[in-house]
Amino acid sequence: MKSNSQEHIWTGITGDREVLAERTKDLPTSPGVYVFYDQAGEVLYVGKGANLRSRVRSYFGPNLSTKTEALMEKVGGLETIIVDSEAEALILECNLIKKHRPRYNILLRDDKNYPYLRIDLEEEWPRVNVVRRMNQDGARYFGPFTKSGSLRETLSLLRRIFPYRTCSDAYLSQASRPCLDYQIGRCLGPCTGDLDRDTYMETIDGVIKFLEGRHKDVRDTLSARMQQCAENLDFEGAARIRDRISALDDVTQKQKIVLSDMKDRDLLGLARSGKLSFVALLPVREGKIMGKEGFVLTGTELDEDCEIISAFVSQYYPNASFIPKEVVVPVSLPDAREISEYTGLKIRVPKRGVLKDLVSMANDNARAMMQAYVPRYERETQETVKALRDLADALELPEAPRRIECYDISNTSGKEAVASMVLLLDGKPDKSSYRRFRMKTDGKPDDYGMIQEVLWRRFRRGIQERDAIEKEGKMSRRQSKFAIFPDLIIVDGGKGQVSAGKQVLDELELDIPIAGLAERNEEIFLLHRSEPVILPRDSGALFLLIRIRDEAHRFALSYHRDLRDRKSIGTELSQIPGLGPQKSKELLKVFGSVDAVKSASYEDLLKVKGIGPKLASSILEYFDTHR
């Protein structure tokens, strides 16, 4: 298989169902991926095929399933991408599904809010941090933890068994004496200055083995260390390690050994309810079940069990922090070979024996999760649908708005002015579609002018992208960022902001409803009404608008503060003689802010990489004269 950096060939076709059916005769017979779009350019479905022509033409034949027929009624465009192998087609299909999250694909619900544990081995004294996403930064990640309880329990166990530091880099760099954790044996004490890194890294190695489920290795290492302490007559140290071994034994004794081969594998179970499917993942490490993680997939009501499990495996494991040698599934997968080549997993379907029983247990766990989840999900879905309908009635819209865009401005007296655009899709934030703009009308506070600027830039760009797709053929729909227009625009403000925004829409000849939400009394302003619309305080529609308005405000404010802080850093630290960008970065990495650098002592500054006695004196002198 060629590397992912190879250039793919794509072709786009637009037209109604009959036009597309006729054009499919010209499609290549190569393996590849196909993408169906609606008339507005939104991705409806992504699929793959060993023979693109044959696979795509099957969508235009008779006897289609209910789900496929519903899809084809909305199709207004088709794009095909040619690749070299079926395995590469699977990779590209997974990437496009993750990027576009099409309505008619089986989707693993977004796990970007699930926490991971992160250990950066490049740090001098690594810590265990909780983060919300994995980055390609060389650090080790463990998770995701779909339940906050399991994350808290894991952290509590780690603290009982391993004495690693939990303080921040800034705190450690300024510590003048050992902290309480060191005094009670919960930390080895990098702050004492008496600890060598190799000794500390032995503890971190134990943490990693524990999180990987290699408890026997951890116990053997601790036992050897305890024996060595005893031989050196360090009985206090031996007693501390004995207590850690005891805590580890408490954990492992609760875990039932279910497989004598001691292999690492995952067990998958499946349960279904309407449009939702539930996958229970039971990780088995060194023959023991280590817990349970649960996942929800949407849009599965008309799919076979094997298609749902295939979609889960293809979407989950490429980004998993740990990939076992084997995954045991409840049904045979038609594309098991391609998935194995893509993920490196061996996929196994047990017919009898212990593994068959364990998969049944995983199915029981999936059913239990479904029974707990479905009532809450149905209630939340009904509330969202009602809120959107109530909003449509209040704003006199022809139908409930599926796509709502909200805009907000943030600046300080016109300086570092920015705008944000956030999107609610079917009542839920679609963070992949958030956009931020740096205002060109910077220099004076002008909310009306800035609202006009951001709307002009956003919708002018959208019109250009639509022309490039439909008329010029210079852009594929998957390359566009602004071509899909909303059903409703919300601006943060009153009638003045709404009027300013409407002028831009009229100039661009766009008929999109626009409303303003004023923060003071949460009043809704429409141009054609002299009085604001006031919704009940307990209205779901009002809650929806407040939610998107506050999210737009948060997104704009964070960008504005980032620009302001960058300017502050550039203007203050750059004024210090001998202090360049790299050393400024090191100072901020250690101290966290310019204010903390101002408060640092001479000794604190000398601890920073690249800061010598002369430069430390220059920094102190500069801030002393500019207080």
DSSP string, 179-236: -HHHHTTSS--GGGS---HHHHHHHHHHHHHHHTT-HHHHHHHHHHHHHHHHHTT-HH
497/622: higher pLDDT: 497
* Residue 324, preceding peptide bond in cis (omega within 30° of 0): no
- Residue 250's alpha-carbon distances to 244, 246, 247, in angstroms, are 10, 6, 5
Residue-level pLDDT at 408: 92
Yes or no: say if 627 and 572 are a contact pair by the CB < 8 Å rule.
no
pLDDT, mean of residues 115-140: 82
Q: What is the pLDDT of residues 30-52, one digit of tens each?
A: 888 899 988 777 889 999 888 88
Tell me the pLDDT band of 9, cut-offs 50, 70 and 90: very low
CA dihedral (613, 615, 616, 617) positive or negative: positive
Please tell me the distance from the alpha carbon of residue 217 to that of residue 237, in angstroms, as a whole number: 20
* Residues in a beta bridge with 346: 326
pLDDT, mean of residues 129-150: 73
Q: Among 41-45, 68-72, 84-88, 339-343, which stretch is predicted with the lowest mean pLDDT? A: 84-88
The domains located in the chain, with CATH, are: 9-105 (3.40.1440.10), 265-374 (3.30.420.340), 403-563 (3.30.420.340), 574-625 (1.10.150.20)
Residue-level pLDDT at 472: 65
Residue-level pLDDT at 111: 47
Yes or no: say if 306 and 333 are a contact pair by the CB < 8 Å rule.
yes
Q: Among 95-104, 303-312, 488-497, 545-554, which stretch is predicted with the lowest mean pLDDT? A: 95-104
Tokens read off for 364? 């029981």
Tell me the pLDDT band of 442, cut-offs 50, 70 and 90: low
Give 477: exposed, middle or buried? Use CB within 10 Å, 0-12, 13-18, 19+: buried
Q: Do strands 523-525 and 514-518 pair parallel, antiparallel, or not at all (unpaired)?
A: antiparallel
* Residues in a beta bridge with 471: none
Q: What is the pLDDT of residues 184-229, one digit of tens each?
A: 777 888 888 788 888 889 888 888 877 776 767 777 877 887 888 7
pLDDT, mean of residues 159-168: 82
Yes or no: say if 594 and 619 are a contact pair by the CB < 8 Å rule.
no
Q: Among 10-19, 78-87, 163-172, 612-621, which stretch is predicted with the lowest mean pLDDT? A: 10-19
Residue-level pLDDT at 347: 92
Mean of per-residue pLDDT scores for the chain: 82
Reduced DSSP (H G I as helix, E B as strand, rest coil) percent helix, strand, coil of the chain, to 5? 50, 20, 35
Residue-level pLDDT at 361: 84
- Residue 269's alpha-carbon distances to 104, 112, 296, 360, in angstroms, are 23, 22, 12, 7
244/354: higher pLDDT: 354
Residue-level pLDDT at 443: 63
Please tell me the distance from the alpha carbon of residue 282 to that of residue 269, in angstroms, as a whole number: 8
148/425: higher pLDDT: 425
Q: How many CA atoms lie within 13 A of 595 on its CB side?
A: 1
Amino acid code (one letter) for 255: Q
Residue-level pLDDT at 457: 93
Which residue in the block uniquely carries the two structure tokens 């292999």?
A: 263
Residue-level pLDDT at 414: 60
Most confident range, picked from 59-63, 187-191, 483-487, 555-559: 483-487
For residues 515-549, one letter each, b for 16 or more C-beta atoms within 10 angstroms of the residue's C-beta and e for the rest, the string is bbbbeeebbbbbeeeeebbebeeebbbbebbebbb
The yes-or-no verdict on residue 82 having pLDDT over 50 is: yes
Q: What is the pLDDT of residues 378-394, one digit of tens each?
A: 778 888 999 999 999 99
Yes or no: say if 43 and 100 are a contact pair by the CB < 8 Å rule.
yes
